[in-house]
Amino acid sequence: MIFLKVLRRFAGAKRFLSGFTPLEIKRRRHLTVARGNLSLSGFTLIEALLAIGVGVLVLTSAYSSLRVGWLSYRRLNSQAYIYQNLRNGLSIFAKDLRNSFLFDASDEHPIVFSGNSKEMSFVSLVVSRNEEGETYAGAARVFYKIEGNNLLRAYLKGRDMLNQSLSPEYEVFLSNISEAGFLYSASSDKSSQADQLNWKDSFEDEAALPQAVRLKLTQKVDDAKDIISAKSVILKKSYSDE
């Protein structure tokens, strides 16, 4: 009895496996079932390779498009950050100059406006914050200096600005600069248009402020054209002789 059961199970397994042989598949190709014709034919090797190749091409194209878009976004974002940083820096530069004034607390060591093509210093009103977190405007000696590829800025406040031997601690104000320079217009020039002023690369008048100051700089940008900027600031306080 046990032997007969084993033979029956073996025969059933054989019939089950024989249904997936190529000959059986071909014989049952047109097998009709309740829902319609059931085709047991599959993909050939060539069809499978073609499908894989098309899938690879689609994925490669999609990746290339995403990569180009991501690189463009990074480049535009970097350029926008540089433009914004440059505009904010030039705004602070102009504000410092417009708030400048002559400071003569000591006749022996007066603090005058001095400048050349690479650096300048003057007294101006600088906004500071006290220990309570409140902001206030106080006199400070402001320094600008072009060194290497950076425009540096520093200031001395309070009694420190009266100490001629004290050196300021510079901080990077604008970076990635390939070319920069300061220009000055004497207070004797009566024109109010920046393009009509007589510009020089130094200012040495200890009794007056310059009529205007111009900063010309070229800032390097990765994968894009360099940014060429020129900021001219008219100092209204220089018209004291009018």
pLDDT at 178 exceeding the cut of 80:
yes
Is residue 107 included in any domain, yes or no?
Answer: yes
pLDDT at 179 exceeding the cut of 60:
yes
Range of the domain at 232: 79-238
Number of domains observed in the structure of the chain: 1
Whose CA is closest to 150, among 130, 127, 166, 173? Answer: 173
Is residue 173 included in any domain, yes or no?
Answer: yes
Whose CA is closest to 189, among 218, 167, 214, 216? Answer: 214
Is residue 197 included in any domain, yes or no?
Answer: yes
Whose CA is closest to 91, among 215, 193, 186? Answer: 215
Strand partners, 176: none
Is residue 198 included in any domain, yes or no?
Answer: yes
The residue type found at 21 is T
Mean per-residue pLDDT over the chain, rounded: 78
Placement of tokens 């059931």 in the chain: 38
Q: Is residue 220 within 8 Å of 233, Cβ to Cβ?
A: no
Min mean pLDDT across 62-71, 145-154, 233-242 is at: 233-242
What tens digit of pLDDT does each residue of 9-51 get?
545 545 544 545 555 555 555 554 444 554 555 678 888 888 8
For residue 184, the model assigns a pLDDT of 94
Who has greater pLDDT, 8 or 199?
199
